[in-house]
Structures are given as C-alpha cells and as structure tokens.
Chains A and B, each alone.
Chain A
C-alpha cells in the first residue's frame, strides 16, 4: 500500500510517496534523496538517524514515514544557515577533529543543535546526558564534547 505524505523538510514543503511500512529514515534517504541522515542499526540503538520532528529529536528509524504527515522535519542538510556558511557546530567539529569516519556525525550534530537551542551553556554532565543515545565508535567522544563546548561559547559570543 502506497501513500502520499505531505510534510515540511528543512523549511520546504515536500511530499513523498511511500510504502506505509517504510520508515521515515528510508523515506528521507531513498525517496527524498537526503542521505545525510545515516542508518547505523535500524532499531533505535545508535542515534545515527537522529532528526528533529516538530522540535523534538527522534530516531528516524523508529518512526514510519506516514506518521510524519503534516510534521516539520529538520535534518543535517538543513543545519547550514547558507550555501557557503557553516553552523557553528559544524565548524567546531571540523576544527576539533570531532569527526573521524563521520557516520555518527549527522545524528550527533542534530542532537547537539537541540541541546544548545534549549540549553546554551551546558555542563559536561548535560552534554553526556544529551548524547547518551548517540554512539560513536571512532573518536572516544572527547573531541565531540570539546567541539560542542567550543560551539556553545561561539554562539554565545555571536548573540551578545
């Protein structure tokens, strides 16, 4: 059974034609062509598929595409404020070497964005708690935490 789902992705109204058993993750990657969002496990364990739906981070693998009808979805492709500019988090991840193979990075960036939007000055504990659903097999997390802290400072400076 196929269905047309209308939603907003990264600020643009879109529609996707999907099988009703298709996950939001597969729909984003295969139907919409937004392959930034990754599939690490397909069962909610790794966080590589994290996207923000109606303001809340969720695992795109644990949501059906049909459930996104009428929703606002933000993916890593929407993080850049403009064509040639990076989000402070993206910039800090590059400078700190917070990405190695990069597979976890899109999910971690979306989770970190939500964290800093809600809590501009997170403690180390806040960052650990915020990222506890995101697994990174390469970096050992230290550089990721450094990058998030540095982005937080820059975003704060840019606001004042």
Chain B
C-alpha cells in the first residue's frame, strides 16, 4: 500500500489546523471505509490522514420531539441501524443503513462519512434529504448549518472548504400522519451499490397530501430532488393516476448516466417504477 502519515487529532481546532497546514493530499479520516479503499486502489493520492475519532463529543445521538434526531460525525452506520428509535421513526433511513455494505463494513463506516464522500449512489443521502436533514459544519471562524439538499455540488464534491469539518447531522421529527420509504435497486440483495435509490417522505392531512419530498439516488451528479413531481402530488389524494403522472415527471427530472452497473435508459425506467412504488409504500405507512 502507498505510504502515508497518520495524525490523531484531539480537538476540532487541531484537526482543522492539521487539515490546512499539512498541505495538499491531506484528508480527514473517519471510519476509513472509503478512504482506505481509495488509497489501496490508487484512486486518491494521500500523504496525510487526520483521524477525528479521538475528538470528544462527536459520538452522541440525541432525540427530542421538536428538534428530531441529531447524531455526531463518529456515529457508525451499524450503531444507528440497531437503534429502536431509528427503526420506529425513521424507517426509510433504517432501510438505507441496513442495506449499506456488510455488517463488518457498517461497524466501521460512519453516516457522516457516507454523506461527505458525496457519491450520487450513497444510500444514506436520499432518505436524509427526503426528511429535510441539516448538516452542522465547524470551521475555525464560525459554525454553520446547511440544508443537506444544498450540501452537494457534484460527484464527490461538497460546499466544504479546506479545514471545515462536519460535526453532525440533524433530521427533523416526523409529523403525525407522515409516511416514509426508501427503495434501493441493485442486481443482488447484499453487498451491492445502488443502481437507483428512491426515497419518499410525505405527510397526509385528512386524506390530502400536505407535503412530500422525493429524493433520487444514482441518477444524477448528486442525489436529486424531484420538485416538479412533488408539485404534482401536493394537495392531491395521491390516487393512482396522479402517482403515475408524478412518476413520469420524475423520469424527466433525473439525469442518469450509463456505467458498469446499468444504462441510462434502464435507470430512467427504474426511476419511474420505483418512484410510484415508494410513494405508495409511504402512503400506506402514513395510515
């Protein structure tokens, strides 16, 4: 393996300084499940890694009825997946967590790392966007909070500046009569990256859809919202014909490419099928 130096940071400030001062090819190291693979497969030149796992206060998970769920940067996929709270209140996120890699990978991989890697096919991103999550960012001069939907600027690219560190993510609570779904589509059931991933979170008010967010994974440069499809659905009773026309609209809104896992045409077709299915599933869950 290519050689690199390892630096264990004890505070956010120290980590941030190391990230800016050690020069190019210095990367923040969290669970390491992306970074170590990229180093071994020579996809990324790395001279220094800055491990943030020794920084106190980044492992907490809290929940309250007004703010919702907040988890720190070091919280692993496996730890969140095993929480009853997540299973009950965030079943869409829970399905995404349980589908990521293997048990062994999930015990190392963090959710924040999955988000920061900014892969369009990352499984945790669509449900977090559909739920309206926020990301907390530390820099040496200030803290900022950014809606997750505005965090990504391209494949592998985010709004983070050099030396900025994500400290955690907040997912708002689900309202009454809300329903959620995440459907991951791949060639096999386990150890598979998404060919297409669709997340839907909606609220029903007296049989009428008062709010809905649709997030589409692996069919664009970043995970995408489908605002035109959402607009078709808002204010309706989500009858079959409306769901069908929204699913068709989502097919127009996505911008898939062809790669080893699937062709662009196939991905677009699957967006149609899975958007319809995810809306129906979320609607059933809201009842």
Q: B1-17 interface mask toward A, CB cutoff 8 Å, 1 = contact, 0 = none?
A: 11111101000000000
Q: Is the CB of B107 within 8 A of A67?
A: no
* Bound form: Cα–Cα A57–B189 in Å: 20
Q: How large is the interface on B (under 10, 10 to 19, 20 to 34, 35 or more residues)?
A: 20 to 34
- Secondary structure at the A interface, as helix, strand, loop or mixed, is mixed
* Bound form: Cα–Cα A134–B8 in Å: 31
Q: Which of A44-85 contact B (CB under 8 A)?
A: 44-45, 47, 50, 56-59, 61-64, 66-67
Interface residue from A42, A129, A133 paired with B105 (Cβ < 8 Å): A133
Q: Is the CB of B107 within 8 A of A56?
A: yes
Verify if A90 is at the interface (C-beta below 8 Å from B). Answer: no
Q: Which residue of A lies closest to B4 (CB)?
A: A21
* Residues of chain B with a CB closer than 8 A to A63's CB: 32, 108
* Residues of chain A with a CB closer than 8 A to B107's CB: 56-58
Q: Which residue of A lies closest to B46 (CB)?
A: A21
Q: Which residue of A lies closest to B51 (CB)?
A: A67
Q: Is the CB of A62 within 8 A of B105?
A: yes
Verify if A1 is at the interface (C-beta below 8 Å from B). Answer: yes
Interface residue from B4, B32, B36, B103 paired with A133 (Cβ < 8 Å): B103
Q: Is the CB of A1 within 8 A of B104?
A: no
Verify if B191 is at the interface (C-beta below 8 Å from A). Answer: yes
Verify if A124 is at the interface (C-beta below 8 Å from B). Answer: no
Q: Is the CB of B36 within 8 A of A45?
A: no
Known contacts A57-B107, A64-B36; 15 additional CB pairs below 8 A are: A20-B4, A21-B6, A56-B78, A56-B107, A57-B104, A58-B107, A59-B102, A62-B32, A62-B36, A62-B104, A64-B6, A111-B104, A130-B103, A133-B190, A133-B191
